[in-house]
Structure 1
Amino acid sequence: MKHLLPTEAWGLLQQRRDEPLETAPLFVDVRMEIESLYVGRPPGVVNIPWYEYPDLMPDPARFVRQVEEESGDKARTVLLICRSGKRTVEAGQALEAVGFTDVVNILHGFEGELDEHFKRSTLNGWRKEGLPWEQM
């Protein structure tokens, strides 16, 4: 699994944006749908939760199956983002375990790590870097 900073991941997405849809990187938000919608998300991301409310328990088989359906090819680049970059490591490992060969974890995720005041988006992360995002 590769680990890229948000700015590096955005650069990769921009570099490959003119590729046909079936070969362009698949950008997956592994957060719960409510997080993705209300907290915000990068444009063009596909939401495939690693776990969902109310269970809050990962379902790797379901996750892998949904990514397989979206990607169409295990050689396709899959970029993973979550809140802080933790869930994506487990999700990426599950993808690699079934044969995905180009999995990218976006370090620090969308909101980044907690600062000394227990707030996110102040130290690092997609939003802190000023990269494009949208909110419901």
Structure 2
Amino acid sequence: MKHLSPKETHAYLQAHPEALFVDVRMELEYLYVGHPPGIVHVAWYEYPEMQPDVPRFVAQVRREAGGDSERPVVLLCRSGTRTLAAGEALEAAGFRNVVNVLHGFEGDTDANFQRGKLNGWRHDGLPWEQM
């Protein structure tokens, strides 16, 4: 699995338009916190279970990728943590080109446990939208 900063990821996506960009956060995060335009939403887990259904996740990503396990898959979550487990699951299922977005959409927490002030997709001024 590759690990790219948000800005590196944005450049990678521009250079690889065939890449599948996947937001693995819960639907509420995706809708109300915001997301990059054009990203595909495939939750790693949802509330209230809060446990991944790995076969469902892999099958849905495979479907979105058109069955092509060689197609680059770029994964985004809140902070870059959920994407590690999701990426490992995809690699175990045969995906060969998985990219993790470091710091995720909202970024790491600062000394006051607040996100969005140190790093992350939004912090870096990259395109995003919300409901």
TM range (shorter): over 0.9
State yes or no: 1:129 paired with 2:124. yes
TM (norm. structure 1) is 0.94
Q: How far apart, CA to CA, are the structure 2 residues paired with 1:16 and 1:56?
A: 32
State yes or no: 1:48 paired with 2:42. yes
Partner of 2:8: 8
Q: How far apart, CA to CA, are the structure 2 residues paired with 1:16 and 1:32?
A: 26
Number of aligned residues: 130
Unaligned runs of 5+ in 2: none
CA apart distance, 1:53: 1.1
Q: How far apart, CA to CA, are the structure 1 residues paired with 2:80 and 2:13?
A: 18
Q: Which runs of 4+ in 1 moved over 3 A?
A: none
Aligned pair partner of 2:60 in 57, 62, 66: 66
**Root-mean-square deviation (Å):** 0.6
- State the percentage of identical aligned residues: 62
Deviations 1:59-97 (A, max 9, x none): 111100000000020000000000000000000000000
CA apart distance, 1:54: 1.3
Q: How far apart, CA to CA, are the structure 2 residues paired with 1:126 and 1:59?
A: 26
Q: How far apart, CA to CA, are the structure 1 residues paired with 2:16 and 2:53?
A: 30
TM (norm. structure 2) is 0.97
Unaligned runs of 5+ in 1: 18-23
State yes or no: 1:33 paired with 2:40. no
Q: How far apart, CA to CA, are the structure 1 residues paired with 2:58 and 2:16?
A: 24
SS of the residue corresponding to residue 35 of structure 2 reads coil
- Match runs of 1:69-108 below 5 Å: 69-72=63-66, 73-108=68-103
